[in-house]
Amino acid sequence: MTLTIPRAERAQTQQPAPRFLAKVSVPGAFAGWLEGTGAVQGQDDIDPDCLALRLAFDASEPVRRGRSISLVVEGDTTVMAMLAEYAKRFLDTFNGNTGEATRAELNGAKKTLERATAAHTSLHVAA
């Protein structure tokens, strides 16, 4: 005896889980540095997390606030985790090394780390 599930029931049971997204404003100076990385340039697309970050960056919206420009990046927990990871690595590498990074890049990385971490946490709570 073979049991079959009607097509309509199968479609209902195979619905993907809802995907929650968050938006994070990435300050322009740090966004400029991030655009030079292999993840955002597409060189690391073999890694699905890097691909997700690149696609989110490609779809980002520039926003002018006074004299500065920020990129508003929208993404899921993967994108927020990658933004936080790159910001943390930037700070670990360049913080304290005068001349290696500008003050604007350092401040942008700090803000991105704070914002992406908060967004990542809120997405986990929502899921």
pLDDT tens per residue across span 88-117: 999 999 887 767 899 999 999 999 999 999
pLDDT score of 98: 65
User: Model confidence at 1, in pLDDT bands (50, 70, 90)?
Assistant: very low
How far is 49 from 27, CA to CA, in rounded Å?
21
DSSP annotation of 78: H
pLDDT for 67 equals 87
Q: What is the pLDDT of residue 24?
A: 97
Beta partners for 70?
Answer: 27, 63
Q: Domain ranges for the chain, please list them.
A: 21-126
DSSP 15: P
- Please check the confidence at residue 73 and state whether its pLDDT lies above 80: yes
Over residues 59-85, the mean pLDDT reads 93
